[in-house]
């Protein structure tokens, strides 16, 4: 008699914390309040393949300043797209629109043929996993922090996610392994470790579309390699969208979208773009030079 309600309360508690994490993660990435509400007749989005189409998308945060103009691109299901460009070019804004944090002021964004503006925000976000630059950790054990990705995940699934996220060596060194308390009142994790916790959460959630916001802060190269190989692992066969700062991390993307002042300046594979000898080539050469001299 006591067990049932307690069990249920535990479930509710985990559910609430689970959705809190999603919201917190989202805010950590987006740093602002949602600006739109669902239409009264909004439906639930169904994603089977994960194809994304931006069609003539325009967007302005404020009427007097156009941020995105005429953005057109297609991400085929199961492929990897990278978005690059100078600071302020509009990369994060693309992700905010994909997440239905805002609706485009012109054009449409379709996921598997469905115009996301007509569907509930919740159902859109359910199908998209985000690995932000800065992950929020709760004052709880490392295992529980990972379980937030999917509260009903089994112990084996959590272990598997830890492995795929390249966190196992780290966990094995902790005093209480996965039961170690982390967060503000526990062990503080480095930026790269936190990002790998977020990757493990996303592996548990396994959404058809994943968005990675590459950390701008310099991670040590071991951390960076671990993150990159974890990302490759989980993105296999899924649609993935990466906001990239270092071009060396995205040379294998199926398409690279080069944003410049709110418009797509160039798009194609790494070698297509190098052949164009334009903005991408300049960015690439500048970064190569930094790597060689720095
Ligand atoms: P970074 O690489 O620095 O993160 P970004 O390419 O992701 O830059 P966005 O964050 O998409 O660029 O910003 C595009 C433009 O929109 C910038 O000029 C920015 O100042 C503006 N902007 C972003 N968020 C808002 C907002 N909430 N309200 C008004 N303007 C905004």
**Mutation test of ligand 1: which of 90, 96, 130, 242 has the most ligand atoms closer than 8 Å to its C-beta?**
90
Q: Is the CB of 91 under 6 A from ligand 1?
A: yes
pLDDT at res. 234: 80
Q: Output the CA 109–ligand 1 centroid distance in Å.
A: 19
- ipTM comes to 0.98
257 DSSP β-pair partners = 83, 267
Distance in angstroms (rounded) separating the CA atoms of residues 156 and 263: 45
Structure tokens at 35: 């600006």
Q: Output the CA 263–ligand 1 centroid distance in Å.
A: 13
Q: Output the CA 92–ligand 1 centroid distance in Å.
A: 7
- Tens of pLDDT, residues 97-134: 999 989 999 999 999 999 999 999 999 988 998 888 77
- The one-character DSSP state at 117 is G
Residue 239's H or E segment, with its range, is strand 239-243
Q: Is it the case that residue 210 has pLDDT exceeding 60? A: yes
The upper half-sphere exposure of residue 274, i.e. CA atoms within 13 Å in the direction of its Cβ, equals: 8
| Short-list 253, 283, 264, CA closest to 76 | 253
pLDDT at res. 120: 94
What mean pLDDT is predicted for residues 192-219? Answer: 84
Alpha carbon nearest to ligand 1 atom 17, residue: 88
Any residues with CB less than 8 A from the CB of 80 and at least 6 apart, and which? 235, 239, 240, 242, 252, 253, 254
Tell me the pLDDT band of 1, cut-offs 50, 70 and 90.
Answer: low
What mean pLDDT is predicted for residues 67-95? Answer: 94
Q: Is the CB of 96 under 6 A from ligand 1?
A: no
The length of the chain in residues reads: 294
Distance in angstroms (rounded) separating the CA atoms of residues 35 and 180: 38
Q: Which atom of ligand 1 is nearest to the CA of 96?
A: 11
Q: Is it the case that residue 25 has pLDDT exceeding 80? A: no
Tell me the pLDDT band of 43, cut-offs 50, 70 and 90.
Answer: very high
Distance in angstroms (rounded) separating the CA atoms of residues 114 and 202: 24
* Exposure b/e, 51-90, CB count within 10 A at least 16 = b: bbbbbebbbbeeeeebbbbebebebebbbbbbbbbeeebb
Q: Which atom of ligand 1 is nearest to the CA of 89?
A: 6
Q: Is the CB of 216 under 6 A from ligand 1?
A: no
Q: Output the CA 174–ligand 1 centroid distance in Å.
A: 39
pLDDT at res. 70: 97
Q: Is the CB of 10 under 6 A from ligand 1?
A: no
Q: Output the CA 116–ligand 1 centroid distance in Å.
A: 22
Distance in angstroms (rounded) separating the CA atoms of residues 289 and 286: 5
Tell me the pLDDT band of 11, cut-offs 50, 70 and 90.
Answer: low
Q: What is the mean pLDDT of the chain?
A: 86
Alpha carbon nearest to ligand 1 atom 27, residue: 61
Torsion of CA 151, 155, 157, 162, to 10 degrees: 100
The upper half-sphere exposure of residue 289, i.e. CA atoms within 13 Å in the direction of its Cβ, equals: 6
Q: Is it the case that residue 24 has pLDDT exceeding 70? A: no
Tell me the pLDDT band of 287, cut-offs 50, 70 and 90.
Answer: confident
Please state, in angstroms and as integers, the Cα–Cα distance from residue 276 to each residue in 177, 258, 285, following that order: 50, 12, 13
The upper half-sphere exposure of residue 123, i.e. CA atoms within 13 Å in the direction of its Cβ, equals: 15
Q: Output the CA 180–ligand 1 centroid distance in Å.
A: 37
CB 146 within 8 A of CB 157: no
Three-class secondary structure of residue 192 per DSSP: helix
pLDDT at res. 21: 47
């Amino acid at each position: 008699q006591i067990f049932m309600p307690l069990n249920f309360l535990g479930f509710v508690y985990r559910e609430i914390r689970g959705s809190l994490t999603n919201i917190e993660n989202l805010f950590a990435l987006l740093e602002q309040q949602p600006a739109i509400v669902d239409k009264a007749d909004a439906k639930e989005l169904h994603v089977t393949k994960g194809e994304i189409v931006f069609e003539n998308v325009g967007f302005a945060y404020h009427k007097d300043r156009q941020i995105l103009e005429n953005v057109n691109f297609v991400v085929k299901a199961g492929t990897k797209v990278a978005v690059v460009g100078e600071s302020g070019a509009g990369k994060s804004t693309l992700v905010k629109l994909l997440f239905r944090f805002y609706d485009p002021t012109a054009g449409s964004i379709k996921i598997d043929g469905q115009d996301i503006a007509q569907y509930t925000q919740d159902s859109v976000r359910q199908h998209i996993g985000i690995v932000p630059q800065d992950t929020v950790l709760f004052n709880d054990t490392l295992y529980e922090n990972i379980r937030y990705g999917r509260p009903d995940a089994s112990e084996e699934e959590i272990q598997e996610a830890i492995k795929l996220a390249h966190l196992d060596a780290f966990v094995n060194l902790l005093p209480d392994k996965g039961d170690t308390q982390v967060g503000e009142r526990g062990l503080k994790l480095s930026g790269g470790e936190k990002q790998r916790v977020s990757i493990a959460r996303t592996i548990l959630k396994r959404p058809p579309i994943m968005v990675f916001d590459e950390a701008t802060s310099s991670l040590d190269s071991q951390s960076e390699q671990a993150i990159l190989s974890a990302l490759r692992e989980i993105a296999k066969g899924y649609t993935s969208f990466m906001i990239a700062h270092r071009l060396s991390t995205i040379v294998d993307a199926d398409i690279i979208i080069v944003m410049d002042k709110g418009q797509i300046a160039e798009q194609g594979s790494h070698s297509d773009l190098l052949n164009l000898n334009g903005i991408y080539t300049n960015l690439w050469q500048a970064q190569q030079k930094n790597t060689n001299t720095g």
